[in-house]
Structure 1
Amino acid sequence: MAITSANQLELLQIADAVAREKMIDPGLVIEAMEESLARAAKSRYGSEMDIRVSIDRKTGQATFTRQRTVTDEDAIENEKAQIPGDAATQAVTQAKPDIFVTRRKVTLFDEEGEKTGEREVRAFNLRKPTEVDRMKTEGVDQDTPPQEGDILVDVVPPVDMGRIAAQSAKQVILQKVREAERDRQFEEFKDRAGQIINGLVKREEYGNIIVDIGAGEAVLRRNDKIGRESYRPGDRIRVYIKDVRREPRGPQIFLSRTAPEFMEELFKMEVPEIYDGVIEIKACARDPGSRAKIAVISYDSSIDPVGACVGMRGSRVQAVVNELQGEKIDIIPWTDDAATFLVNALQPAEVTKVVIDEDAERIEVVVPEEQLSLAIGRRGQNVRLASQLTGLDIDILTEEEESKRRQAEFEERTKLFMDTLDLDEFFAQLLVSEGFTNLEEVAYVELDELLVIDGVDEDTANELQARARDYLEAQNAKALAVARENGLQDDLANFEGLTPQMLEALSKDGVTSLEEFARCADWELAGGWTVVGGERQKDDGLLEPFDVSLEEAQDMIMTARVMLGWVTPEEVVGTSEEDEQAAPEEAGA
């Protein structure tokens, strides 16, 4: 089937119809047609030839051309697509090629004659005199012989496509149109992640819901559905665009109805103050389909954030509840004070006392006995949501449990001071009552802090510190002796940051030299978690009893490797910067 004048305009009509149907640029369809025709021509003239096809956007006329690049004679690899310089000059002189295209770098100068740079220009030398002037490019000598990199273009006769070639051309066009459609869909939705859209349920596949979103399909996965929801084809559904990814099979749009952000966007739609930024949702935690907690703050003192979110007679929050299939929502005022915020987050339970350990990111909450079940909630729901809202691990104790634990700690510390400092029970209890928890605090605290204790004068305080230091030095010497017996070497013994007790623990596990220490992994020192068979298992670290964090373990190991010359300080700095850049990306994931 040759392309005749009768069906030239038909090409443009087909391209326009396909473009309208698929909502893509007609130029992309024409480019696909050009590529398909070029492939068909290669099957006729040979795959080694560089055949190009150009379809006129106005007339639909298809022009078939062969391109040959001027190449050094010794560097020619494909004689069908490359031509030596001498042969190219002769071809141009004899006017064999229809078009002689040059690509040259032109030096640019300013008005004062100073060089300002270079740019690449193209010029055409057609053997049709009437078109030479139209195709000339300023700055290029049209009569210059062909040089390496120039292109000779010959017009070749159109091909008469057979059935196989026509089928191949059809497949190329369909593939290109499909790729263009996918690109358009990705470009349309890539910036819409984080928005709520409406769609129609098309079908269910293995528990996942396929949703028609107008310009394509999206997936509501099983774990992103609210538990008790069920859908039938044709049902309207409101969903949150969770992620948009470009994948080999096409753009994948993942939806969610369980994401906390879905609830935040719903409130933004129902509460104008949130949309305008007067009220901000600072945190949100959900048990999808059952219960949720959101923390809000108002930047206008005249507006109550909780009241604005609830609305007149609960109209605003009720609209969100209805969309989420009756999910109960607790709206909590947000505050910078962590303890006050936690007390609000644990509502409706009443809290007696809050103790925060910021270093461990843990918090202890004491509640009356009758409030314990309310604070924990059904299956731990209330405390779990409060923990997600505050970002802290929460331990809930009754007043009786807290009292027993404090008494046990008091007795344990009292016995420690009695045994190590040779004190009577009353004096040891005085130290514990003043907040001393270990021997290091007694040994190295400022003397004035001991003098505030009733009955302690300067001589007594000095004696207490001397006893504490003597005991600690004896313990250090004993630990170091054990480590030496286990083979501890001087290079590790002199390593800064390791106490005698740490050296003893390392030597018991066979780490006795700086080289062996440098070979350790950070989790081997600080501890960590390993997933085995889908379950997390605790890995005990050699220095974990001494509260060595993962970051501290990394620093010590890298310092040891620098001392041994395994890495340079610059490499260590570079690795640290990469880790800092990767940390927010992983947190985001």
Structure 2
Amino acid sequence: MNSEFMDALTTLEKEKGISKEVIIEAIEAALISGYKRNFNQAQNVRVDVNRENGSIRVFARKEVVEEVFDARLEISLDEAQRINPNYEVDDVVEIEVTPKDFGRIAAQTAKQVVTQRVREAERGIIYSDFIDREEDIMTGIVQRQDNRFIYVDLGKVEALLPLNEQMPNESYKHNDRIKAFITKVEKTTKGPQILISRTHPGLLKRLFELEVPEIYDGTVEIKSVAREAGDRSKIAVHAENPEVDPVGACVGPKGQRVQAIVSELKGEKIDIVRWSEDPVVYVANALSPSKVIQVNVNEEEKMTQVIVPDYQLSLAIGKRGQNARLAAKLTGWKIDIKSESEAEELGLLDDQDLEEDVAAAEDGLEPIENVDEIEGD
């Protein structure tokens, strides 16, 4: 090595942020192994790289002893004092043993160390960039796929889209641009591994943040998301300011905002409902688009019994129970749906006016307190 190599390390430190001293120390450690391997030496050695001109010297380190048992590791007191009269027993003597052709080994070793350190630094930078983007959304380009993953180029790194995180109604082709939710960023021996998803509820939430300025600036808050990817989703929104319509903000002028999200999700239907701290109102809203006559709440079992008109029973339950299932996920309440005629037979109907409750909740008033608690089926 020479002064030009040391200048190159200085440049590398500025461009890649890799400490010059750290690289030199790594080179010295690697040269010790290289010396022992190439010259069949077992003694303790120290390699010194001159920080100015890059010159390399190898020193054998030997302990001063009264009687020598291993000449590779020890030196007698008499011999040590011939080098320097001040040496005493248990001191360590360093004797230069630099081989004549050690420069070639040093150059090769230095190249390998620098290459490895640069690679590690680049991986570290990528990891640092992406660990902060965990649970965020990014746009990538589909590169290839196998029976386990679709590989998506995110610019600096290739992310993995597992089979179970792919939407069932989507097919992916080379060079397709897709938005994906980063679920996990891991350090591995081969560099950072980025796992992404197209089915995660977080993707829907982030898409609304991108499309709806009121959500991005905090005027409208997403309270909950329930999603069956590729088919239907429900999202509950709320605004502290009573003059702001959170549902209208998410829908957008002529439905443009929500339609942009539906298009990105390849036609996935999205129900946007108004959140309420009153479970009666919240559950009724969550079962949209069906009309709800009455909601009975069992606080202890966190269960609600919902009564709907006979002609809307199938709509409230949804295809294969989807509407009721999503509403339960969205609200966190168990939901038992009964038709109006069945409720009459069981004596479950009362004089509760659900529409007044909803209006009171939306006006910031106390809801009517005439909800019966019942035992869930």
The change in CA–CA distance for 1:378 and 1:63 in structure 2 (over 3 A counts) is farther
Cα deviation digits, residues 458-490 of structure 1 (max 9, x gap): xxxxxxxxxxxxxxxxxxxxxxxxxxxxxxxxx
TM-score with structure 2 length normalisation? Answer: 0.77
Distance 1:155 1:367 in 2: 93
Determine whether 1:40 maps to 2:34.
yes
Look up the match of 2:4: 9
Counting only pairs closer than 5 Å after superposition, residues 444-459 of structure 1 correspond to structure 2 as none
Q: Map 1:68-83 onto structure 2 (within 5 A).
A: none
**152-161 or 364-373: which moved more?**
152-161
Q: CA deviation at 1:388?
A: 0.8
Distance change (3 Å), C-alpha of 1:82 and 1:305? farther
Distance, in Å, in 1 between the alignment partners of 2:207 and 2:279 is 27
Q: Which secondary structure does the structure 2 equivalent of 1:238 belong to?
A: strand
Q: Match for residue 272 of structure 1?
A: 213
Instruction: Give the match for residue 223 of structure 1.
Output: 164
Which amino acid is 1:9 matched to?
Answer: E
Taking structure 1 as reference, are residues 155 and 353 closer, same or farther at Cα in structure 2, changes over 3 Å only? farther
Q: What is the rounded CA distance, in whole Å, between the counterparts of 1:42 and 1:155 in structure 2?
A: 14
- Which residue is equivalent to 1:354? 295
Q: Is the 8 A contact 2:45 2:58 kept in 1?
A: no
Cα deviation 1:238-285 (Å, max 9, x = unaligned)? 222111122344322111121111111111111122111111101011
2:200 maps to 1:206: no
Q: CA deviation at 1:174?
A: 5.1
Kept in 2, the 8 Å contact 1:38–1:53? The answer is no
Write out per-residue CA displacement over residues 22-74 of structure 1, whole angstroms, 9 at most, x where no aligned residue: x5626365555444323211222624424334362x5333343455689x99x
Q: CA RMSD in A?
A: 4.0
8 Å Cα contact 2:27-2:109 kept in structure 1: no
CA separation of 1:166/1:262 partners in 2, compared to 1, >3 Å: closer, same or farther? same
Alignment pair present for 1:64 and 2:58:
yes
- AA partner of residue 60 (structure 1): G
Instruction: Please state if 1:257 is matched with 2:198.
Output: yes
Q: Which runs of 5+ in 1 are unaligned?
A: 97-144, 408-434, 438-589
1:132-162 CA-partner distances (Å, limit 9, x unpaired): xxxxxxxxxxxxx89x8x8765554156359
Whether the 8 Å CA contact 1:12–1:60 is kept in 2: the answer is no
CA–CA distance in structure 2, aligned partners of residues 402 and 151 of structure 1: 94
Equivalent residue in structure 2 for 1:54, among 31, 34, 49: 49
> Residue 371 and residue 211 in structure 1: after superposition, are their counterparts in 2 closer, same or farther (change >3 A)?
same
Partner SS for 2:202? helix
Query: Of Structure 1 and Structure 2, which has the larger fraction of its residues in helix?
Result: 1
Counterpart CA distance in 1 for 2:102 and 2:70 is: 25
TM-score normalised by L of structure 1? 0.51
Distance 1:171 1:335, change over 3 A: same
The aligned residue for residue 187 of structure 2 is 246
Shift in Å, 1:171: 6.0
1:304 to 245, 250, 254: 245
Please give the secondary structure, in 2, of the residue aligned with 1:228: coil
The aligned runs of 1:299-378 (5 Å cut-off) are: 299-378=240-319
Quick one: distance in 2 between partners of 1:26 and 1:233? 40
Q: 1:377-392 residue pairs with structure 2 within 5 A?
A: 377-392=318-333
Alpha-carbon separation, structure 2, partners of 1:383 and 1:372: 11
Identity %: 40
Alpha-carbon shift at residue 187 of structure 1 (Å): 2.1
Partner-residue secondary structure (3-state), 2:152: strand
Instruction: Mark the CA change 1:203 to 1:158 in structure 2 (over 3 Å): closer, same or farther.
Output: farther
How many residue pairs align between the two structures? 348
Instruction: Work out which structure has the larger RCO, using CA pairs closer than 8 Å and 6 or more positions apart in sequence.
Output: 2
Amino acid of the structure 2 residue aligned with 1:54:
V
What is the one-letter code of the residue matched to 1:301? P
Partner of 2:18: 25
Flag the 1:46–1:181 CA change in 2: closer, same or farther, 3 A. farther
1:40–1:161 Cα contact (<8 Å) kept: no
Between the aligned partners of 1:170 and 1:95, the Cα distance in structure 2 is: 40
Q: Hey, what's the Cα distance between the residues in 1 that align with 2:61 and 2:155?
A: 43
Contact 2:31-2:109 within 8 A present in 1 as well: no
8 Å contact from structure 1 (residues 65, 153) kept in 2: yes
| Contact preservation (8 Å) 1:68, 1:81 | yes
Structure 2 residue identity aligned to 1:387: A
Q: Is the 8 A contact 2:23 2:113 kept in 1?
A: no
